[in-house]
Amino acid sequence: MAVVCPRCGREYDVTLFEFGRTLWCTCGARVGVASRELSLGAAAENRFLADAMLGKLARWLRLLGFDCAYEDRIADAELIRRGVEQQRVILTRDRALPHEWWLSGICVVRAEAPFEQLGEVLRRFALAPSVQLFSRCSQCNRDLASAHRADLAGRAPPHILATREHFWECAGCGRVYWEGSHTRRIRQVVERLLAEA
Ligand SMILES: [Zn+2]
Ligand SMILES: [Zn+2]
């Protein structure tokens, strides 16, 4: 099967256009086939994949409980492939990406500051009602579970274990979290953001 350049009629093999990849024809026109393999509807499950520019946004989304995969070095083709295979909305800062890949599940984040990016994504996908603070590990994206002090000896500073009430641990990386001034601060800024969103 061939894909035909709309301007000059030159034919290209369909296999060149996997996942909505496009190419420049020798005549200067962009040639492609729109792909429906990933749509923004994937956000119904609140699953995201952040590109290399959006590491801080990814950590914020995880703090709010959203499943957000992230790779700090990843080629466009691999980013797209992972988004499609895992059915994750692709969050990117690269405005050219939706022109180079005709795939509707690509969301260009316009804000520059991570916290503003978070507000933008919360509004865009109406995520506010689904926020579950501190339910997911900000480092590795796995679910957090409540933990008992008795099981955490040696895994958190003794004065923290002695003085705090609530702990969580990550089944993925083993990281231990606890309520403290940092979580209170995060709750405050997130509540303000949600009130605005
Ligand atoms: Zn052409
Ligand atoms: Zn973890």
Any idea where the domains of the chain sit in the sequence?
A: 2-31, 40-130, 144-196
In tens digits, the chain (197 residues) has pLDDT values of 899 999 999 999 999 999 999 999 999 999 999 998 887 776 667 899 999 999 999 999 999 999 999 988 889 999 999 999 999 999 999 999 999 999 999 999 999 999 999 999 999 999 999 999 999 999 999 999 999 998 998 999 999 999 998 899 999 999 999 988 889 999 999 999 998 87
State the pLDDT at residue 43.
60
Q: Which ligand is nearest to the CA of 23?
A: 1
How many angstroms from the chain centroid is the CA of residue 33?
25
Q: Which ligand is nearest to the CA of 136?
A: 2
Q: Which ligand is nearest to the CA of 8?
A: 1
* 68: enclosing H helix or E strand: strand 67-70
Q: How far apart are CA 157 and CA 169, in angstroms?
A: 14
Which of 134, 136, 122 has the alpha carbon at shortest distance from 183? Answer: 134
Report the DSSP pairing between strands 30-31 and 23-24. Answer: antiparallel
Determine the distance separating the centroid of ligand 1 and the alpha carbon of 14, expressed in angstroms: 15
Determine the distance separating the centroid of ligand 1 and the alpha carbon of 30, expressed in angstroms: 8
Determine the distance separating the centroid of ligand 2 and the alpha carbon of 15, expressed in angstroms: 38
Q: Please give all residues whose CB falls under 5 A of ion ligand 2, grouped by chain where several chains appear.
A: 137, 139-140, 170, 172-173, 175
Q: Which ligand is nearest to the CA of 62?
A: 2
Determine the distance separating the centroid of ligand 1 and the alpha carbon of 194, expressed in angstroms: 48
Report the DSSP pairing between strands 30-31 and 47-50. Answer: unpaired
